[in-house]
């Protein structure tokens, strides 16, 4: 079994601590800010040996150097972003299976937010660490694109089992939900998820993790190939890539 601890950092970021309770191995997904992560390791009495990085943005890597002053860490991250992540020890490629504890993390390519963004999936206990590729009710801003590759990456994440627990790099669910409901106003799954997220926020809880199966029903960015979404954007019958790109642009302007 793996235990996952979600650590809020900066304004909206999350770092994730993964603990294998068979081998005792401990790892971190992304390092937005060292202090809250150090506090969490101290409170949990855990010592990490690995960091798995999803992409090169500063709010995912700036904690690495200060954490290395406290721990002996091997840093894994996308090979294609090696020039932008100077701390990488192990450059990983999509499809790689990285041993962790008594299981492994598989590396899934999901570019678009950044050119080499990867996600990590733990098949032994279906869990997806999506970074900024996929959020609850949304997806990352498309800084690098292109839209066909970003859409292809989101479909790879959508192909994972419904029972998957989804962890993301940011707490954006309610603002994403506000946009999503303008696109897909009659979607009961979306309405339900927004209600759930609102009540989580009201009680001071994060809205993550969430269930990937319900995201598939509620998140418009995972539904860009649904005729209803295309119709809403005036793109009926067009390639879903066009719908995805229009959706992403509409969100940027929301």
Print the binding letters for residues 55-74 with Zn ion: x by CB under 5 A, - otherwise.
--x-----------------
Q: Which is nearer to Zn ion, 173 or 187 (CB)?
A: 173
**Is 171 an interacting residue with respect to Zn ion (CB under 5 A)?**
no
List the alpha helices (DSSP H) in the chain: 34-44, 58-61, 64-68, 147-158, 173-183, 188-202, 212-218, 227-232, 240-252
**Is 132 an interacting residue with respect to Zn ion (CB under 5 A)?**
yes
Q: Stretches 23-31, 45-53, 124-132, 204-212: which one binds Zn ion (CB under 5 A)?
A: 124-132
Q: Which is nearer to Zn ion, 130 or 245 (CB)?
A: 130
**Is 30 an interacting residue with respect to Zn ion (CB under 5 A)?**
no
**Is 170 an interacting residue with respect to Zn ion (CB under 5 A)?**
no
Per DSSP, the three-state class of 68 is helix
CB of 75 to Zn ion, least distance (A): 17
Q: Is 70 one of the annotated binding-site residues?
A: no
**Is 81 an interacting residue with respect to Zn ion (CB under 5 A)?**
no
Beta bridge pairs of residue 2 = 20
Give 98: exposed, middle or buried? Use CB within 10 Å, 0-12, 13-18, 19+: middle
Please give the structure tokens belonging to residue 137: 């009710």
Give 195: exposed, middle or buried? Use CB within 10 Å, 0-12, 13-18, 19+: exposed
Q: Is 132 one of the annotated binding-site residues?
A: yes
CB of 238 to Zn ion, least distance (A): 28
Q: Is 43 one of the annotated binding-site residues?
A: no
- C-alpha to C-alpha distance for 102 and 98, rounded to whole angstroms: 11
Residues serving a catalytic function are 55, 57, 59-60, 113, 132, 170
Query: Residues in the site for Zn ion, rule: CB under 5 A?
Result: 57, 132
């Amino acid at each position: 079994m793996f235990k996952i601890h979600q650590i809020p950092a900066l304004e909206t970021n999350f770092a994730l601590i993964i603990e294998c309770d068979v081998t005792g191995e401990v790892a971190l997904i992304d390092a937005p800010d060292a202090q809250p992560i150090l506090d969490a390791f101290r409170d949990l009495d855990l010592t990490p040996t690995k960091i798995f990085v999803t992409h090169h943005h500063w709010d995912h890597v700036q904690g690495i150097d200060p954490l290395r002053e406290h721990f002996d860490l091997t840093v894994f991250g996308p090979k294609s972003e090696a020039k932008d992540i100077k701390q990488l020890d192990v450059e990983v490629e999509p499809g790689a299976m990285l041993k962790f504890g008594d299981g492994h993390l598989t590396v899934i390519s999901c570019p678009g937010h950044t050119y080499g963004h990867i996600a990590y999936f733990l098949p032994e206990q279906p869990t997806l660490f999506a970074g900024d590729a996929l959020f609850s009710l949304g997806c990352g801003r498309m800084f690098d694109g292109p839209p066909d590759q970003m859409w292809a990456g989101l479909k790879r994440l959508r192909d994972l089992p419904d029972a998957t627990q989804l962890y993301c790099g940011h707490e954006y669910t309610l603002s994403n939900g506000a946009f999503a409901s303008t696109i897909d106003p009659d979607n009961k799954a979306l309405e339900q998820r927004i209600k759930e997220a609102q009540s989580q926020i009201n009680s001071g809880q994060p809205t993550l993790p969430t269930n990937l199966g319900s995201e598939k029903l509620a998140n418009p960015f995972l539904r860009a190939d649904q005729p209803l979404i295309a119709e809403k954007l005036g793109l009926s019958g067009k390639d879903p890539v066009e719908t995805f790109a229009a959706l992403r642009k509409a969100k940027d302007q929301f």
